[in-house]
Structure 1
Amino acid sequence: MTDRAPDSSADEAPEIFDDLYLGLRAGGALRKQRRGEPLTRDEQEALGRWQRLSV
């Protein structure tokens, strides 16, 4: 048994998936950037958000 309220993990789940998705998008953008490929606006935004969150 955990000490958490029953609905606390349900509240955290969407945020966790959002963070994972952002990380995947940022990772793809970093790979493109390392290869010298131009980034789309969405990729630039994902990379910027990831960098701000990781500070």
Structure 2
Amino acid sequence: MLTQKQINQIAEMINESDIHNDDIGEHIGLILENVAGVELLNDEQLNTLHSKIEQAVKSLK
């Protein structure tokens, strides 16, 4: 699982990329595909992580 600092860094990267709100979820998924160890997470853990990142992005806007 990612630390809160890593989640915040991903959120900042997405926010700075000026990605349209409808595309944020897709970009989070693309980023997570490249994070080592994510393939070991079950669906519930992955959804929780995705939600945490999405909430962090929304808190920056």
Q: Shorter-chain-normalised TM-score: which range?
A: 0.3 to 0.5
Compute the TM-score of the two structures, normalised by the length of structure 2.
0.36
Larger relative contact order (Cα-Cα within 8 Å, sequence gap ≥ 6): 2
TM-score (norm 1): 0.39
Q: Which has the larger radius of gyration?
A: 1
Structure number having the greater helix percentage = 2
